[in-house]
Amino acid sequence: CGFWPGTLWYLYEATQDTVWLHAAENVTRILLPEAYRKARSHDSGFIMMPSVGNAYRLTGDTMYAQALHHAADSLAELYNPKVGTILSWPGMVKKMNWPHNTIIDNMMNLELLLSMSKAYADDSLQNIACTHANTTIQHHFRDDYSTYHLVDYDPETGAVRGKQTVQGFSDDSSWSRGQAWGLYGYTCMYRLTGDARYLEQARGIAGFLINHRNMPADGIPYWDFDAPALASTPRDASAAAIMASALVELSGFVPAAEGERYMAFAEKQIRTLASPEYTAPAGENGGFILRHSTGAYPFSSEVDVPLTYVDYYYLEALTRIKRRLQP
């Protein structure tokens, strides 16, 4: 629910039209009570940062900062210091016998902790975010910078009980949106901490993605890099939009030639997404901008559909490109 107001905030930032400002404020304020409730999953970062986070960034209103701080404290309650990560899905603890499960998506929620750590000089929030990121590097990633979707930990010892997928092709495959979450998450971690380990991780993931043998020529990944690379295999526009947004930001943290390669690949992805193949005519596609995303293929859920977060990260990528191109 955070992505729709986030989309409105990016429309306001791009146009400075107060129509979008008022719309963004109205929807964001509907969500504010969520910041004061107990975190029900790691998704509180996804809810808060696109909506309330962008509201605070663009208006400076301390009401939004206070809400974000409460949300960060609530998210931190899911952290297990014995494991060193935030619990992703409390509902799966008993249902799937995953007593402390952590998914790669969780990297996207660390920005909430780090931003509030800086705003309120709360070192505990930064320590949680960094320990989670470090533990994820240690246990989620393979030598080639591909990632498992979910790692199941023993909550008492921190030992790894298993590594598997939920939304990917197989336990050992590389689910494309998960790879994009990792790229984006570690790029963000470097921006907010300056820790070279996170930059190196982001660069490694970027290389894995850009150079993958199954990356289609147009830059829009199949829903999983290990799924059959066939014309009928669903693509995932959301993975491309997330990846493009991350690459634009990452390009500013590396040597010029490397940054140009990242920008060129992001531009290819954005131009493909902006083409009639992926951009729906106005008034169609349920009102969404982009087509051809894949939510959870193994469950036949959200296959070849529009998704609210693909529009959000697409507009974020465009906004970041605009910033980079402005003198």
pLDDT tens digits, residue range 227-245? 999 999 999 999 999 999 9
Kindly tell me if the per-residue pLDDT of 292 is higher than 70. Answer: yes
Residues 7-24 have pLDDT tens digits of 999 999 999 999 999 999
* 165-224 pLDDT, tens digit each: 999 999 999 999 999 999 999 999 999 999 999 999 999 999 999 999 999 999 999 999
The secondary structure of residue 280, as a DSSP letter, is P
Distance CA 94, CA 154 (A): 13
Residue 258 has pLDDT above 80, yes or no: yes
Q: Please, is 87 exposed, middle or buried when counting C-beta atoms within 10 Å of its C-beta (0-12, 13-18, 19+)?
A: buried
**Encoding tokens for residue 167?**
């939304």
Residue 141 bridge partners (DSSP) = 147
Catalytic residue among 43, 152, 224, 236: 43
Strands (E) in 50-157, as ranges, are 79-80, 85-86, 100-103, 150-153
Summary mean pLDDT of the chain: 97
- The answer on pLDDT for 41 being more than 90 is no
- Is residue 105 flagged as an active site residue? yes
Tokens for 13, please give them: 């930032």
Task: Output the pLDDT for position 16.
Answer: 96
Instruction: Count other Cβ atoms within 10 Å, centred on residue 15.
Output: 11
Q: Which residues pair with 147 in a beta bridge?
A: 141
Burial (CB count within 10 angstroms: exposed 0-12, middle 13-18, buried 19+), residue 34: buried
Contact between 135 and 153 under an 8 Å Cβ cutoff? The reply is: no
Kindly report, residue by residue over 28-37, the tens digit of the pLDDT.
999 999 999 9
Rounded Cα distance, 19 and 225, in Å: 41
Could you please report the per-residue DSSP string of 136-168?
HHHHHB-TTS-B-SEEEE-TTT--EEEEE-SSS
DSSP 172-227: TS-BHHHHHHHHHHHHHHHHHH--HHHHHHHHHHHHHHHT-TT--TTS--BSBTTS
| CA nearest neighbour of 267 among 307, 210, 207, 219 | 219
pLDDT at position 327 is: 67
- Active-site residue, selected from the candidate residues 105, 224, 236, 311: 105
Beta pairing class for 85-86 and 150-153: unpaired
